[in-house]
Structure 1
Amino acid sequence: MAAPYDVHATDALLVCTACGTQFPTADRTTLPSCRICDDPRQFTPPGGQSFVTMADVRRRHRNVFHPSTGGNPRLISIASEPKLAIGQRAVLVRTPAGNILWDCLTLIDEATIEHIRALGGLKAIVISHPHYYSSHVEWAAAFDCPVYMRAEDKEWTVQQSPRQVFWSSSNVQEIVVSGQDNVKRATGAKAIRLGGHFPGSQVLLFEGHLLIADTLVTTPSGLGSWATDALGKPSSRPAGMNSFAFMWSIPNMIPLSGEEVFAMWHVLKHHDFTRTHGAFVGTDITAPDLKQRVLESMKIQTKFAGWAKQEAWEGVLSETV
């Protein structure tokens, strides 16, 4: 039987100030740098590598719950304030079979645990990619639940736990959870591996909501509104405006290749959605033609990247299942 979870048992563990990854050590002499930030997809700040303790994080920050993400009361955004490391949000997905946490935050404290338990606790955690692994091992211990990550990205974990589930059998994983009676129940949520940003980068689909983190990067023009012009008259989106970008490195602005973007579509085209939820609070898009906007964004990016196989997009919508 596992020992009861103690939130303060990890107070001395070190956390990277740039990406928020929690390391399984309190000894600074054994941690000269963060391997997540040493990868070309991340970066170190001008001041260089630095670490703080989890106790520092708990003292300086708090998690704030933002209800009704994208207009659906089943989705609740959670973000740390003031901004912590990358600043991503996690999303509590309240399925009929139990709660799923999409992506993860570094900060986990007594107030957060109490609030989530009051909402029904957690049955599973699903993480999009290694930049958001943060302190997922501790979250899983606090709620005694599995964490779903892709096997391709296992090398980026800096902590190990029997609660980690590295799936790889296909591009789609139905999230099934166990109740107190140990009966398996379907949540209606699906983890979908698209790759791109990382080989195992995934999104989560639930009731027409596609939680994308930065597997698909929500752009300013994607969030913009052209419903009316400056005079208040009915208007529409100008041609050529994208809604999403597809990046190998977001902070260093290195785009994915045309082949990789096309491969992402060949997985995503089989799934329908009318809402997307990006990595940060306020990056939600709702539109009846949103799937088409993803495809158009892919075409725009690959065109301006000089992809030689633009004809591969022709007829692609007719293949949609």
Structure 2
Amino acid sequence: MDRSPWICLTCGGHYPAAEEPPASCRFCTDERQWVPPTGQRWATLAGLAADGYATEVREVEPGLLGIGVRQHIGVGQRGLLVRTAEGNLLWDPPAFLDEEAVRAVRDAGGLRAVTASHPHMYGAIVDWSDAFDAEILLPEADAHWLQRPSSAVRTWSGTLPVLPGVTLVQCGGHFPGSAALHWADGADGAGVLLVGDTVMVTPGEDRVTFMWSAPNRLPLPERWVRGIVAALRPYRFDRIYGGWWLPVLRRDAKRVLESCADRYVQFLRGEVDLG
């Protein structure tokens, strides 16, 4: 019998190994997610591999490697490996990984730490940690969402410089610990922000927005939007990568973030003439 951890196919959440899957998924039954009308579905890494799931690795820009899954699973995020001279960090790991993914990261210099923007994107975070003896960096406010215990967990709050030029920033909003990662050397030195869906890049790649629950269309209150902008104000960045291959906000990202936050708040307050 395959006793590897159980994976929720709807959200990608990982749960401890057991003879039977959990009765329900803690992530999906939360108001920010959803349970399929047909009920929760479960899989294991071995089962997914047997069904043809496979890793997809791409260079996103110099120093930034994307790690995704060719078939959709969970919320569908692709991870990003930030490479530095003093080690690498993996951000928002997908729910599936295989030897190809591990080999690609090993060839890129290994892994010092693995982390995520928020609990929906913890993915195979424990498996990555085990493969490289890497730290799991989780905001203290959200660490209880990790369903598989690991001695590699290190909690943090506020900000955390992880590697030279690589800083985790707690923004709040979608979850209390929702975070962004600032990579100072990205975009040819102009600075990059990795956001998952703490900030959501819109399809035209010229705006961002903010949601408490994207699938359930629940907006984020003004004070939390203002909190995100304030947390990111000290950092210089020209580009924003969301949690998926596309869309990407490719230029002038800090100005766009701040102007879109102001516009979002105008809608919340009813200050927009829609006539």
* TM, length-normalised to structure 2: 0.91
Which of the residues 112, 119, 138 maps onto 2:127? 138
- Please state if 1:42 is matched with 2:42: no
Q: Check 1:10–1:149 CA distance in 2 against 1; reply closer, same or farther (3 A cut).
A: farther
Deviations 1:109-139 (A, max 9, x none): 2222122111111111121100011221111
Which of the residues 278, 297, 303 maps onto 2:242? 278
Which of the residues 31, 39, 43 maps onto 1:52? 43
Quote how far apart the aligned CAs of 1:159 are: 1.0
Counterparts of 2:78 and 2:152 in 1: how far apart (Å)? 22
Paired residue secondary structure (1:265): helix
Structure 1 consecutive aligned stretches of length 4 or more whose deviation exceeds 3 Å: 9-12
Gaps of 5+ in 2: 186-190
- Please state if 1:173 is matched with 2:160: yes
Quote how far apart the aligned CAs of 1:27 are: 2.4
Counterparts of 1:105 and 1:10 in 2: how far apart (Å)? 21
The match for 1:6 is: none
The match for 2:54 is: 62
On the 8 A contact 1:36/1:131 being kept in 2, the answer is: yes
Quote how far apart the aligned CAs of 1:187 are: 2.8
**How many matched pairs?**
265
The match for 2:261 is: 298
Counterparts of 2:4 and 2:92 in 1: how far apart (Å)? 24
Counterparts of 1:296 and 1:188 in 2: how far apart (Å)? 26
Counterparts of 1:250 and 1:198 in 2: how far apart (Å)? 13
Q: Check 1:167–1:285 CA distance in 2 against 1; reply closer, same or farther (3 A cut).
A: same
Paired residue secondary structure (1:220): coil
Equivalent runs, 1:148-163 vs 2, <5 Å: 148-163=137-152
Quote how far apart the aligned CAs of 1:19 are: 0.9
The match for 1:79 is: 68
Counterparts of 2:17 and 2:107 in 1: how far apart (Å)? 31
Quote how far apart the aligned CAs of 1:152 are: 0.4
Which of the residues 87, 93, 111 maps onto 1:122? 111
Deviations 1:129-169 (A, max 9, x none): 0001122111101110101110101221111111111112x
Which of the residues 12, 15, 40 maps onto 1:20? 12
Paired residue secondary structure (1:212): strand
On the 8 A contact 2:210/2:225 being kept in 1, the answer is: yes
Counterparts of 1:165 and 1:216 in 2: how far apart (Å)? 24
On the 8 A contact 1:137/1:159 being kept in 2, the answer is: yes
Q: Percent identity?
A: 33
Gaps of 5+ in 1: 1-8, 176-185, 225-242, 311-321
Tell me which protein shows more helix as a share of its residues. 1
